[in-house]
Structure 1
Amino acid sequence: MRFRISGETPHGPEETLALCAEAENYYVDRPPPARHQYELRDCAAEGELAHAAAQAQEDGSATLGSLTVHALDRYGKPVEPAWDVWCLKDARVLDVRPGFTDPSVVDVTVEGSLDAMAAGVDELPEVPGVPPLYQGFRLYGRDEEPWGSCRQVALMGRQPEPEPVPLRLLRCEPSGRLLAALESGDDRFDLGSAHLGPLDRTGRSIEEHWTCLHVESWSYSAAGASRVDLTLDVSCDDFRSSAARAAHELWSAGPPTEPNRWAALDSAGRAAWSRAAQHNSAARRGPEPLPNATYHLDGRHITDSGGFSLALGETMNGPGGYFGDCFGTIEYCLEEGHGGRRPFTLVWHDHHIARACLGRTPLTHDASPSFEQILEFFAQHRVDVLLD
C-alpha cells in the first residue's frame, strides 16, 4: 500500500510533498499509557468508590473505571472554571487502610493512567492542582455521580512513559518543501503541518490525517538516489492502529461496491472504516434526494454504535457511504440533505440485534447511544422508523 504526504500552499491548492511506496509501523497499536499509583488520603467514599473499596478489602483489588477529581476552594465548593478537573481512566482500587488520625475515613490506593482528553486539556499534572486554602477534593465517576471526597491526592508510584514507535516511510519521491529541506543537507528538520495517509491502487486517498511531522532521520533509498527513506516523529498519531489496516485493505482496490464489507471488523476497525467513508463522501454523493422516500436499514450487523453509523451510511448513500458517526454529525447530514431529505421513512430490518447490543459499555468514559435513544433522535428529526 502506498502513502502520501501533502501540505497546503499559501496561494494555491494542496501540494504533494512525497509519494511513498511502503510504510513501516504505520499500522501499529500505540503502547498503553503508563499507569501510576495514587493515594486518596482521608477519603470518605460513596457510591461505586465505596463499593470498590469494600471489594478490594475482600478480593485484594477491584475495578473502578473513570475517576474524576475536582479541587475544592476555601469554602468547600468545586473550583470553577473546570481547569482544576483531574482524571484517571481504567482505575483500580488496590488497597484500603484506616485513616491515620480519623477512624471515620480511609486512605485508598488507586492505580490508573492520566486522562487528559476527559479533562479537556493537552496534558495533566502528576497530581491535581489546588487553589490557595483549598478544602480538599470532591470525587466523581464517569457521569458525574458523586463518589465522596478526600483531603489529598498523593503520587505513590510512577511507571515510565512508553517510548513512541517511530514511523518510517520507504522509497519516497520527495517534492516541494520536503525536497528543499532534503537538499539543504540537514539530517533532522521540521516539515510542519501536513496531511498523511494511505492510497488505494488507483491513487485515491483512502483517508488523511493532519499532523505535524518532524523528520528524525533520512537516507537515500536502495531504490536509487532519487528516492529517500524517512523516519518521522508524528505529533498526532491516533490513526496508527492494527485495526485500521484491516479496514484500509478492504478499501485498497477502491471504494467498496458491495454493502456490509465492514461487518467482520471490530469496533476500532469500524471506526477506521467510518473515517475512510467520511473522507470519500464528497466524491460519492448521488443525485439530489427526494422527500417522503423510504429507505431500508440492514440491521444484521448493528452490534455496536459504529455498526449503526456504517449501516446507516450505506442505507442512505450506498456501499461505503457516510451519513454521520454520532448524533451531531447525523443531524448535520439530515439538515444538509446529504443522502436523505426529510421527511422520510426508515425501515429497520432485524432491529432486535441493535436493541440487544446497543447502549452503555461498563467502565468506559464514553457511552454509546441506546436503541431507544436512537429512535427518540429520529422522531425528533422527522424520520419515521418502522421496525421489522
Structure 2
Amino acid sequence: MRRRARYTLVETEHGHAWGVGAEVEGLFGDPRRGTYELCGWVPQTEVRGWVGSRVWLVPEDKAFDPWLLEDAESLGERPGTDSLVLTGLDDYEGPPEGHRGPVRVHDGHRWLGSCGEFARVLPAKQSAPPLILRGLAPSERLMAALKKGTRQALDLEQAALEIRDDRGEPLTDRLLWAEVSAWRPSSCGTALIDLELDGELFTPVPEYARTVWERWFTGPPDTSGAWAGLDTRRRRAWLDLVRERGCRRTLHDRSAGHAYMLDGRHITDEPGLYLALGEAVNGPGGYFGGCLDALADCLRGTFGHTTPATLLWHDAVTAHEHLRQTLTPAGRPYDLFAETLSVLAEGGMHVTLA
C-alpha cells in the first residue's frame, strides 16, 4: 500500500513541484543558535535552563533598539567569572555589529538582570546534517537536472517544503535553498528516489517541537484545549502551526451578532491567550490572531468573524492574573489583558467577563 504523500518540494519562483514524497529525514534538529556572554552579570531573578520564547536585550545606549533572542536558554555562569552565558535564535533581529556595551535583559514579563558588558561568542563550526527526502516521486524537470549532474543544474535555488497532514490538508511549509548533494534510487518503491539536500541551507524545526508537530500530522484536534497541558515553549510551537495552517484556509465569516464563548481556564501565558481566542471563534485548532496586531486584522473579517458580535469570557481572572504585568521590547510595562480587551472592543466584539 502506497503511503500518503505528505511533503512536496516546490520551486518558489514559478510554483512548479520538484517532487512529492512521504518521508523526510532531518526535518527536526537543533537550529544554529547565537551565544552571548553577559559580563558583570547582576541577576534580578534566577536564570537557569530554558529562559523564555522571547527574551529581549535592551542596550543602555538609547541610540540602539532592543534586540530579540528567541527560544533563549541559559548555560549558567562561566566558571571563574561573573559572566552569564545565554544562547538563542537571533537570525533576523541580532545586536548591532560589534556592540559590547551594557544591556538589561527581560523575558517579556519581568526583568532578569543586567550586565556591564555584552559580547557575542562565536561557536565552533559544526556541519549540519543533510535534509533527505525519502521515497520522492520526482518531476521530469528534477530528473533532467539530476541526470545532467552539473553544479549549476543541481542548485535548485529557493524552494519550499510544503507539508500536509494525514488528511491531505495543507499544514505548513519550510523555506530553504535547495542544493542537491546526492541522490539514489529509493527502497520505498520503483521510480522513487532519495534526494539529499545540503543541510547548511535549511533551518530545522527545533527538536522540542517534534511531539507538537507529530500531533498535528494526524490532523487538527477534535476538541478544544488540546494544548492546555503544554508548557509555554510548546504552546508557542502549537500556536505557530495554528497560525500557519489558519492563514492557508478559506473561512466563511459568521453573520453579525454571533455569540462566542471563551474558555479562559488555561490562559496562563501569551500563546495560551491566542490559542483560546482562536478556538472560541473558529473551534478546535482554530486561529484568530497570534499577536495584538494580528488579532485586530482578524476582527476586520475573512477569519470567521463579522462585527458586531459578543464574547463571554469565562474564568477571565486567570488571564488577568498572568497577563497584566507585561513588558514591551524596550521594557515599558503594560497590561496585555487590558490591551486585548481594548482591541476586541475596537473591533466590534462586546466582551462580558465571567
TM-score range, shorter chain: 0.7 to 0.9
Q: Following TM superposition, by how much is the alpha carbon of 1:161 offset from its aligned partner in structure 2, in angstroms?
A: 4.7
Deviation at 1:327, TM superposition (A): 0.7
Instruction: Give 1:325 shift.
Output: 0.8
Alpha-carbon deviations, 1:274-299, whole Å to 9, x = none?
34433443675554322232111122
8 Å CA contact 2:128, 2:200 repeated in 1: no
Say if 1:117 and 1:341 are closer, same or farther in 2 by CA, change over 3 A.
Answer: same
Post-superposition Cα deviations, 1:304-359, rounded to whole Å, max 9, x if no partner, equal: 22222122112212222211111111111111352222222110112233233336
Q: Quote the residue 1:112 is aligned against.
A: 86
Q: 1:149 to 1:312 in 2, by over 3 A?
A: closer
| More moved, 161-170 vs 199-208 | 161-170
In structure 1, distance between residues paired with 2:241 and 2:56: 30
Are positions 1:348 and 2:313 aligned together? yes
SS of match in other structure, 1:35: strand
Instruction: Tell whether 2:314 aligns with 1:313.
Output: no
How far the C-alpha of 1:191 sits from its partner, in A, is 1.8
Which has more radius of gyration? 1
Which residue in the other structure is 1:44 paired with? none
Asked whether 1:7 is paired with 2:11, we answer: yes
Distance 1:179 1:368 in 2: 56
Q: 1:372 maps to what in 2?
A: 338
TM-score (norm 1): 0.68
Q: Distance in 2 between matches of 1:195 and 1:360?
A: 39
The one of 242, 249, 269 aligned to 1:277: 242
Q: Distance in 2 between matches of 1:323 and 1:301?
A: 17
For residues 260 and 288 of structure 2, the distance between their equivalents in structure 1, rounded to whole angstroms, comes to: 13
Q: Deviations over 1:22-60 (max 9, x none)?
A: 1223133x15736354657xxxxxxxx6566xx99xxxx
Amino acid paired to 1:169: L
Backbone CA RMSD of aligned residues:
4.2
Structure 1 residue 299 and structure 2 residue 251: aligned?
A: no
In structure 1, the gaps of 5 or more residues are 41-48, 57-62, 72-77, 98-107, 130-136
TM-score normalised according to structure 2 size: 0.74
SS in 2 for 1:202: coil
- Asked if the contact 1:34–1:162 (Cα under 8 Å) also holds between the matched residues in 2, the reply is no
Partner of residue 99 from structure 2, selected from 116, 120, 128? 128
SS in 2 for 1:324: coil
SS in 2 for 1:226: coil
Shift in Å at residue 196 of structure 1? 0.9
Q: Which residue type is aligned with residue 207 of structure 2?
A: S
- In 2 relative to 1, CA 297–161 (structure 1 residues): closer, same or farther, beyond 3 Å? farther
**In structure 2, distance between residues paired with 1:153 and 1:282:** 39
CA distance in 1 between partners of 2:241 and 2:279 (Å):
13
Q: CA deviation at 1:167?
A: 2.3
d(CA) in 2 for partners of 1:271, 1:178 = 36
Identity over the aligned pairs, expressed in percent? 27
Instruction: Show CA shifts across 1:63-98 (max 9, x none).
Output: 9x7544466xxxxxx65xx49x7888767665999x
Q: Distance in 1 between the 2:244 and 2:323 partners?
A: 26
- For 1:250 and 1:258, the matched residues in 2 are separated by 13
Q: Which residue of 2 aligns with 1:169?
A: 133
